A = this chain, B = another copy of it.
């Protein structure tokens, strides 16, 4: 990291309209990252970034996250080849979330199941019970082959 982020300003107006990007990391040091395809806007995944992941992403133009399950920096696609090239980054009014518009390399798949998007299921109530239904069964790669012996990244 060649820079650090300034602390969020106490003044709400400065936070919402000032010139500085001052991400509000939570008590675990994370912000939420929403990732969409820069082409058609499809929601691909939701992940988290710590300060280092966010800085690496800004510096390199390739998406890095913080894996909560593995407790380490996670260069998305480092195993599968499905790297995410960042075309635009946005932040929201209170700067505790970022939105990455990306193009996906490799198989053009983001989900570790091989699907394009992690959001491959709809949710509804059926007879009063919350159920899911799979809306996308197309696999861009075979996860058993790609991740054999490796972490799912």
Contact = CB atoms under 8 A, between A and B. Distances in A.
Interface in A69-98: 88-93, 97-98
Contact of A90 (B5, B122, B131): B122
A2 interface: yes
Nearest to A47: B97
A125 B92 CA distance: 17
Given A58-B123, A90-B119, A123-B89, A130 B5 contact: yes
A153 interface: no
Interface residues of A, number: 47
A17 B134 contact: yes
B32 A36 contact: no
Nearest to A42: B41
A38 interface: no
A45 B135 CA distance: 24
Given A19-B131, A130-B5, A132-B19, A46 B120 contact: no
A66 B119 CA distance: 22
A129 B2 CA distance: 9
B91 A132 contact: yes
Nearest to A112: B93
A25 interface: no
